[in-house]
Structure 1
Amino acid sequence: MNAIEENTVHPSRPLLALDVDGVLSPYGAGRLPGYVPHQVRPQAWVDWSAMVYPRPSHLVVQLNPAIGERLEALPFDLVWVSAWTEQELAALLGPLGFTQAPPHADLKGATQRTFFLRVDDPGVSPDAKGDLYWRSQDVLGWANRQDRPLAWLAPHFPKTVRRDFADGHAAPVLLHEVDPAAGLTDADFTALTSWAEKVAALEPAPAVVPRQCRDCGDRSTTVIAGRREDRVHAACGSCCECYCPIGDGSDAFQSCGDLESERCTRCGWCRICGCGC
């Protein structure tokens, strides 16, 4: 097997977000042809299994050494959106047949939560649906920072997650469900290739050059109803994460931006947010 090299990034290509359980490692149907079982103990699973009785001693994942090469041949930039750590994922690259190491997405806030999730979760997780929702929000926030077409592979996408991505990500999105009992099949690779070809044929989206916030210095945009919006307000020059005094004499602020020019003279509240008059 070839040595694992650093991943080559092609910014013009769409991103392909990968996870382990139910995507690269099938479960629920026994041993599959071409797959080799491995015993592992990722920390996210250890945290999750602490709530299970009787507590399992290890996790068995099935890995196919032909999958990595097929994924690398797709017209995508691969990236992990897994709860597994970079070190834990690095140990899977060889058994999966990867020749390059995909980067790990910076899911801000995800390190604060346990995100080992399976479609067949027996109910021992305290809030499996909630965890899945918050994980999708982390992935959505990361995808918006990349501002590139995204295909995400997972065993299941609830309607709420599909709606959030349709409304909250301006670039094309494919939320592709993989049968967790079968893993990635020829049909999945065909669907991914077809979608990437359609995206490549689209006209490029108009560029949005965000203005710098006078308070925090950040330059970024947000997405509202599928459209990119400049986060810096034209009237005051501040972004939506800087301060807008409520006007009650306290240090509390609203998260709409420092809109002093839009501040109601009677109650002190921002007229954009809705004053108290």
Structure 2
Amino acid sequence: MLFLDVDGPLIPLGGKPPKDPEGRAVKVDATGTWDGTSNPLLSRLDPTHGNRLTTLGCELVWATTWMADANEEVAPRIGLPELPVVDWPEDEAPLTPGLHWKTRALVAWAAGRPFVWVDDEISDADRAWVTANHPGRALLHRVDPRAGLCDADFAAIARWLAEHA
């Protein structure tokens, strides 16, 4: 299973969005069609990412504050089908300093199964907590939010999945 965040990994937070010949922000979907009505951050999506994620060969799950909107706004633009969405608990247990607010919920969702978590906010505290509290294998892969998912990230994730297949 691969838990996937949107802001940072799929929508890089650095740089400027591309422009069309008339200087407008370019927004594309998986077919390369310009979409002039959507959230301007969606223009930063890479339409090849859906295929690259699908070919990793694991169950993909949205782990994002976009919630179900990820299926409506992000998935079609990168060529992904509708994916399950992690429902974040409303009455969260007291936060552990340094621990990401998603960590406990993702471990609960995984229910002992191996997982990869792709996010731009993963820390050593999250890794230590998962190691201590999750009986299955886990890769917590931090993506540089300025660049988003890149070739090196896909290679690291594919390598880990192959080693733990």
The TM-score bracket by the shorter chain reads 0.7 to 0.9
Letter in 2 for 1:161: D
Q: Choose which of 36, 47, 55 in structure 2 pairs with 1:65.
A: 47
How far residue 85 of structure 1 moved from its aligned partner, in angstroms, is 2.6
* Aligned position for 1:31: 17
Paired with 1:182 and 1:167, the residues of 2 have a C-alpha distance of: 30
What is the letter of the counterpart of residue 29 of structure 1?
Answer: G
Q: State the TM-score, normalizing by the size of structure 1.
A: 0.48
Structure 2 residue ranges without an equivalent (≥5): 20-24, 28-36
- CA shift digits 1:2-44 (9 cap, x unpaired): xxxxxxxxxxxxx1100110011101222369x954743xxxx
Q: For 1:112 and 1:63, how far apart are their aligned partners in 2?
A: 32
Q: Residue 75 of structure 1: CA displacement?
A: 1.9
Report the counterpart of residue 150 of structure 2 in structure 1.
185
Contact 2:2/2:116 (CA < 8 Å) preserved in 1? yes
Going by fraction, where is helix more abundant, 1 or 2?
Answer: 2
Q: Which amino acid aligns with 1:80?
A: W
Aligned-residue offset at 1:72: 0.5
1:142 to 102, 109, 122: 109
Post-superposition CA distance 1:52-78 (Å, at most 9, x none):
xxxxxxx62311111111111112110
CA distance in 1, matches of 2:9, 2:131: 22
Larger strand percent: 1
Pairs within 5 Å for 1:38-187: 39-40=38-39, 60-61=41-42, 62-98=44-80, 100-107=81-88, 109=89, 111=90, 133-143=100-110, 145=111, 147-187=112-152
* Alignment deviations for residues 92-113 of structure 1 (CA, whole Å, 9 cap, x no partner): 2111122x22111244x1x457
CA drift of 1:191 comes to 0.7
Compute the RMSD of aligned alpha carbons.
2.7
- Distance in 1, matches of 2:91 and 2:46, equals 31
SS for the counterpart of 1:180 is coil
Structure with the larger RCO, 1 or 2 (CA within 8 Å, 6+ apart) = 2
Q: Which amino acid in structure 2 is aligned with residue 189 of structure 1?
A: F
Corresponding position of 1:248:
none
Aligned pair count reads: 148
The question of whether the paired residues in 1 share the 8 Å contact of 2:71 and 2:82 is answered with no
What residue number does 2:33 align with? none
Query: Partners of 1:185 and 1:88 in 2: how far apart?
Result: 20
Question: Greater CA radius of gyration, 1 or 2?
Answer: 1
Q: Distance in 1 between matches of 2:3 and 2:9?
A: 11
1:152/1:72 CA distance change after superposition, 3 Å = same
Give percent identity, aligned residues only: 33
Q: Distance in 2 between matches of 1:32 and 1:171?
A: 41
Q: 1:32 to 1:87 in 2, by over 3 A?
A: closer
- Change over 3 Å in CA distance of 1:174–1:181 after alignment to 2: same
